[in-house]
Amino acid sequence: MNPHLTHLECSKTGKHYDPDRLQGLSEAGAPLMAQYDLKAISNFFHKEKLKSRRRDMWRYRELLPLGENDQLISLGEGFTPLNPVERLRNKLDTPHLFVKDESRNPTGSFKARGLSSSVNGAYNLGARKFAIPSAGNAAGALAAYAAALGVEAHVFMPKDTPAAFQVECEAFGAEVELVDGLITTCGQKVAEKKELHGWYDVSTLKEPFRIEGKKTMGFEIAEQFSWELPDVIIYPTGGGTGLIGMWKAFNELEQLGWIGSKRPRMVAVQASGCAPIVDAFRNREKKAHSWEDAHTLASGLRVPQSVGDFLMLDILYKSKGIAIDVTDDEIIDATYELASQTGILPAPEGGATLAAFEHLLKQGWIDPSEKVVLFNTGSGYKYIEALRMKSKVSASSIASK
Ligand SMILES: *Cc1c(COP(=O)(O)O)cnc(C)c1O
């Protein structure tokens, strides 16, 4: 492992854990956060070094868990474009709008970042069998890295997960179990079976390294904006690793002396059919309640409960951010709008950020002159069933039958 990775810290109690062993949640049932000796790292890692670095997330190797001699199999994850979306800017009269296009990652979503670092990290600590509950993209990413490394992947998805996710997992050689229930039920299945089968559980925030991969989105935003963070980041929120990871990245960069204390206002977008964080935020609560009867076509947002809820809410309060929900109709309309104005076919989760942006502009919460980043977290090519609901071509071909 990275020699400057000093320990893993319980995000509730602060208790330290050994980073050179496979770990799960802390004894308090909370996520573990990797901690580095940033003072030591700042002595030899300077931002100028990045100029000659590889163009993927491993360009920030000094701030990631793997050591120089560890085996690392990358599929080119990270370092995605920050698109200045000219036509959309003109249409909305928001001259400083950007889309961070995560659909360009391997397997078409930002899940590749987290799974690359968790699977590679755990591989070097001896794990050879992996399991994950997933709404779709995480399963695909795990299956891809498991295929690249030649290890076992066992994935559990709701049975109504879009077909592309099921097919890609099978093609990558993963064992796929379709579950009658939501991601939380899938998580229970993994928990029940993992001990017997010797699986390493890479569920969202239940091991320490997925978040390390996800935090590279924060490094990239900082680097792409020349170390001056934007005013607002709008992020489609399910389990919350992206929000938590970016916030961690900003704090690490400040400790390295690469950025100042300015932080973006962080916006969590959820679907109206599954909005536990929005509910908790509106009630100014520290934790969220489990959402009953969760439904939305943005499958990555169909997460009724997260172990990182208290961390997300803390970030929203600290950053003077906000949580907002948008309906599935708004999500589909915004997905088409984003596509037709930019040439990027976003996942519905990405479309949701545009719908939220338009609401927040209208409410005056965002000023049109502000520098705003929308996160398109995945590719629309995997959600054809959902996107077809609005397609004139498919509607007319059905009508003519
Ligand atoms: C998983 C997922 C999300 C939610 O991400 P978190 O970081 O877990 O909140 C959003 N969009 C897409 C496309 C996803 O696959």
The residue whose CA is least distant from atom 5 of ligand 1 is 238
For the domain with range 82-109+210-391, which CATH number is right: 3.40.718.10, 3.30.365.10, 3.30.1220.10, 3.40.50.1100? 3.40.50.1100
Model pLDDT, residue 365: 98
Q: Which amino acid is at 184?
A: T
Q: What is d(CA 401, CA 396) in angstroms, rounded to the nearest whole number?
A: 9
Pocket test for ligand 1, best of 377, 379, 381, 383 (most atoms within 8 A of CB): 377
> Could you tell me which of 210, 223, 214, 215 has the C-alpha nearest to residue 249?
215
Sheet of strand 5-10, all strands in order from the earlier edge strand to the far edge? 16-17, 5-10, 32-36
Q: Where are the domains of the chain?
A: 82-109+210-391
Segment 156-181, tens digit of pLDDT:
999 999 999 999 999 999 999 999 99
> Could you tell me which of 269, 272, 298 has the C-alpha nearest to residue 373?
269
Q: What is the value of pTM for the model shown?
A: 0.96
> Could you tell me which of 203, 223, 55, 59 has the C-alpha nearest to residue 134?
203
Model pLDDT, residue 401: 45
Q: Confirm or reject: Cβ of 107 under 6 Å from ligand 1.
A: no
Q: What is d(CA 133, CA 182) in angstroms, rounded to the nearest whole number?
A: 9
Q: Which amino acid is at 269?
A: V
Q: What is d(CA 297, CA 64) in angstroms, rounded to the nearest whole number?
A: 33
Q: Confirm or reject: Cβ of 118 under 6 Å from ligand 1.
A: no
Segment 182-195, tens digit of pLDDT:
999 999 999 999 99
Q: What is d(CA 327, CA 329) in angstroms, rounded to the nearest whole number?
A: 5
Segment 239-259, tens digit of pLDDT:
999 999 999 999 999 999 999
Q: Confirm or reject: Cβ of 240 under 6 Å from ligand 1.
A: yes
Chain position carrying tokens 């580095």: 36
User: What residues of the chain score a pLDDT lower than 70?
Assistant: 394-401
Segment 33-75, tens digit of pLDDT:
999 999 999 999 999 999 999 999 999 999 999 999 999 999 9
Residues 6+ apart with CB under 8 A from 371: 96, 98, 225, 230, 231, 232
- The dihedral sign for the CA sequence 23, 24, 30, 32: positive
